[in-house]
């Protein structure tokens, strides 16, 4: 897994139909040795680590399938990412940092334009440091979940019975 990618992904085309892929994944989920579980239905597949082996940084794989109109092949787009609770937490914190930075900038630069003291602007570097710390924490978390990400990747590759691009 290469660094500096927030959510590794792959895209590939397979000659199998959506129904075949769903059947293959469901069969493999019943007999897997990777401590994984998931769902496969319609045009979407989700594969997760079992609760007993799951930790805060455990990844999951979401695959969306598209029928190719010109032939009977299927295009697969897979995204490895954190569990929804982790993703939501980081999104809310980044949003809060962005909103605070915007409002503090407006207030601070308005004060500066009026010739007043604008000490509130000293909070902006703190917020930027916090955003950078969050990014570094997400990269460390991605490294902690790397082994499970590869387990999910190889499991899906085995289920499909064909090679998919490396993440």
Q: Is the pLDDT of residue 2 over 80?
A: no
Nearest residue to 159 via CA among 13, 28, 22, 9 = 28
pTM, 2 dp: 0.80
**Average pLDDT taken over every residue of the chain:** 90
Does the domain at 9-83+145-160 match CATH 3.30.310.80? Answer given as yes
Domain coordinates of the chain in residue numbers? 9-83+145-160, 87-139
**Confidence at 23, pLDDT banded by 50, 70, 90:** very high
The two three-digit tokens of residue 129, written as one number: 């440091």
**Confidence at 68, pLDDT banded by 50, 70, 90:** confident
Q: Is the pLDDT of residue 31 over 70?
A: yes
Q: Is the pLDDT of residue 130 over 60?
A: yes
d(CA 135, CA 97): 12
């Amino acid at each position: 897994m290469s660094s500096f990618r927030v959510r590794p992904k792959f895209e590939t085309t397979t000659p199998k139909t959506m129904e075949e892929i769903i059947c293959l994944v469901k069969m493999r989920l019943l007999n897997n040795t990777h401590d994984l579980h998931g769902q496969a239905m319609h045009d979407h597949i989700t594969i997760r680590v079992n609760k007993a082996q799951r930790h805060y940084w455990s990844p999951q794989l979401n695959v969306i399938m598209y029928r190719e109109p010109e032939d009977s092949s299927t295009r697969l787009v897979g995204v490895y990412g954190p569990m929804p609770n982790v993703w939501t937490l980081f999104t809310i914190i980044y949003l809060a940092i962005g909103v605070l930075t915007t409002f503090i900038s407006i207030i601070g630069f308005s004060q500066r334009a009026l010739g007043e003291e604008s000490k509130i602007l000293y909070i902006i570097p703190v917020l930027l440091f916090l955003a950078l710390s969050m990014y570094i924490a997400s990269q460390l978390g991605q490294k902690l979940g790397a082994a499970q990400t590869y387990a999910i990747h190889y499991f899906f590759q085995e289920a499909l019975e064909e090679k998919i691009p490396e993440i």
